[in-house]
Amino acid sequence: MIHVIATVELQPNTREHYLTILKENVPKVIAEAGCLEYEPVMDIDSGLPFQGTVREAVVTIVEAWESLDHLVAHLKTPHMQSYRDAVASYVKKVSVQVMEPV
């Protein structure tokens, strides 16, 4: 199993438009072979002293896949290409961390 943390930094004032498109894509991703988890999340103000500043323009997608091969196949699906095309003007930057349990 692998875990993926995808951090999507958005252009100003685009969060709601981006979230609408992302939420439409989530069921398609969850239905993919090898997808164990695919959940968009956003920062909350927890009040915990060690938490950094709440990032209003960031959406994080927490993912788990059976294997790296499943993740690679996911990235090549038609619905992911359509999603990337649809959100391109809303996204400032994407960073991805791929990890495995130790």
Ordered by where they begin, the domains of the chain are: 2-47+54-99 (3.30.70.100)
Residue 74 pLDDT? 98
On the 0-12 / 13-18 / 19+ scale of CB atoms within 10 A, 32 is middle
DSSP single-letter state for residue 11: P
Angle between helices 78-87 and 15-30 (to 10 degrees): 180
pLDDT one-digit tens code per residue, 41-75: 999 999 999 999 999 999 999 999 999 999 999 99
Q: Name which of 38, 35, 43 is nearest 10 in CA terms.
A: 43
Tell me the whole-structure pTM to 2 decimals: 0.94
